[in-house]
Amino acid sequence: MTQTTLELRPLDFYSAHSVPEALHYLADRGEETAILAGGTDLMVQLQRREISPQAILHIERINELRYIDQETAAPVLGGLVRHRTLAIHNELSSYSAIRRSAGLVGGWQTQSAGTIGGNICNASPAGDTIPALLIHGAQVRLQSKAHGCREMPLSEFLLGRRSTARRPDELLTQIALEPVPQRSADAYYKVGRRAAMEVAVVGLALRLTLNEGLDTVTDARIALCSAGPAVYRATAAESALCGARLAAEVLKEAGQLLAASAQPIDDVRGTRSYRLKLLPRLLTTVVNQCVEQIRAKSV
């Protein structure tokens, strides 16, 4: 079944080449404008007629937003950094969960076009890079012509399914990450039916920090995608791990709290009950992997 060229309502297409140019456009028409970066989500929504903006603001030519800066204590990423760049980037070595998640957003074709800013602003409950960013305490920067810059934690920026705190006249320009403490490791695991897929059955990101004796958890950050209406930090499970010795009962309790925190649905990729069974086992696997990595680094 072929869809003929879509008879979309008359639509404006404007390509901005600088941040001020984009902000100027959004100040004027932000309410009726969809922002096009890589377009891997937007184009699907447009073609399915899930959205009908009156204008498309193409921002992908704003080259000044395509940077990875590690000069400061912790990296900052421009909003237009592509998933493929992150996936194969040799730096950001302490942020392997971010690199790994970027390499799992769809296939290579998706990653060539898709951007981290786009992944965040689309705010899909299945957005792969979002859990990895959350566990690293990501802060987003939003810019507008009227109000300049404001920063906010990514956790507060995400409001719900496909809903963010971005105002219509704002552009997400930068993501800042926290430094990684000593004796830490991170990981992102995506469960799915294909090696590359649009949506995860479940995705889990973990950042774990151990004490000097390497037998007790001093910090645990867990974030899930495809387990609820929005990507979220599983704070109850985190608390169960924090300060606890690494033991089977601790992992079991944390796993139960993790499953309890989730609100997965039945969808074409998996059932609610499967996802709930999966979560505790996934947590154990990822915790063990991170512990191994931390111990290996400390040898």
Partner 1 sequence: MKLQFKVNGRSCVVDAPPGESLLDVIRDRLHLTGTKEGCREGECGACTVLLDDKPIDACIFAAHAAAGLEVETIEGLNASGELTPLQQAFVDCGGTQCGFCTPGFIMMLTALLRETPAPDAATVREAIAGNICRCTGYAQIEDAVQKVITK
Structure tokens at 134: 């959350």
Q: Least distance to partner 1 from the beta carbon of 22, Å?
A: 14
Q: Judged by CB under 8 A, does residue 56 bind partner 1?
A: yes
Q: How many residues does the chain have?
A: 299
Nearer to partner 1, 157 or 188 (CB): 188
Q: Least distance to partner 1 from the beta carbon of 141, Å?
A: 24
Nearer to partner 1, 39 or 125 (CB): 39
* Per-residue contact string for residues 175-194; x = within reach of partner 1 by CB under 8 A: -------------------x
Please tell me whether residue 170 adopts helix, strand or coil conformation. coil
The only residue of 96, 107, 219, 284 in contact with partner 1, by rule CB under 8 A = 107
The only residue of 17, 20, 43, 50 in contact with partner 1, by rule CB under 8 A = 43
List C-alpha distances in Å: 193 to 40, 184, 190, 202: 20, 30, 10, 11
Q: How far apart are CA 259 and CA 269, in angstroms?
A: 18
Query: How many chain residues are in contact with partner 1, going by CB under 8 A?
Result: 33
The only residue of 67, 89, 96, 106 in contact with partner 1, by rule CB under 8 A = 106
Q: Which amino acid is at 103?
A: G
Q: Which amino acid is at 155?
A: S
The only residue of 76, 196, 236, 291 in contact with partner 1, by rule CB under 8 A = 196
Nearer to partner 1, 126 or 223 (CB): 126
Q: Judged by CB under 8 A, does residue 90 bind partner 1?
A: no
Structure tokens at 76: 């900052």
The only residue of 110, 115, 144, 226 in contact with partner 1, by rule CB under 8 A = 110
Q: Judged by CB under 8 A, does residue 235 bind partner 1?
A: no
Q: What is the 3-state secondary structure (H, E, C) of 54-92?
A: CEEEECCCCHHHCCEECCCCCCEEECCCEHHHHHHCCCC
**Of the listed pieces 22-30, 52-60, 68-76, 282-290, which binds partner 1 according to CB under 8 A?**
52-60
Structure tokens at 9: 């309502």
List, as one string, the DSSP characters of 118-158.
HHHHHT-TT-THHHHHHHTT-EEEEEETTTEEEEEEHHHHE
Structure tokens at 138: 């990501």
- DSSP-derived secondary structure letter, 33: E
Nearer to partner 1, 150 or 193 (CB): 193
Nearer to partner 1, 37 or 176 (CB): 37
Q: How far apart are CA 48 and CA 51, in angstroms?
A: 8
Enumerate binding residues for partner 1 (CB under 8 A): 2-3, 5-6, 8, 11-13, 15, 36, 39-40, 42-44, 46-47, 56, 58, 60, 84, 106-110, 112-113, 194-198
